[in-house]
Amino acid sequence: MPTIQKADPQARRRAIVALLAAAFLGGVLLLVFDTYRPEYEAWVRNRADWIIAHPGMTALIVFAGSLPMIVFALYLWRIGADTVRCERFPPPKLSVVRDTLVLSGDAAVRRGRLVQATALLMIGLCCVSGLVFWWVLRQLFGAG
Q: What percent of the chain has pLDDT over 70?
A: 97
Say whether pLDDT at 92 is over 70. yes
* Residues 101-123 pLDDT 10s: 999 999 999 999 999 999 999 99
Q: What percent of the chain has pLDDT over 90?
A: 62
The whole-angstrom separation of Cα 127 and Cα 59 is: 8
Residue 133 in contact with residue 51, Cβ under 8 Å?
Answer: no
Amino acid identity of residue 135, one-letter, is: W
pTM given for the model: 0.78
State mean pLDDT over 64-71.
89
State mean pLDDT over 84-112.
95
Helix axes 55-65, 106-141, angle to 10 degrees: 130
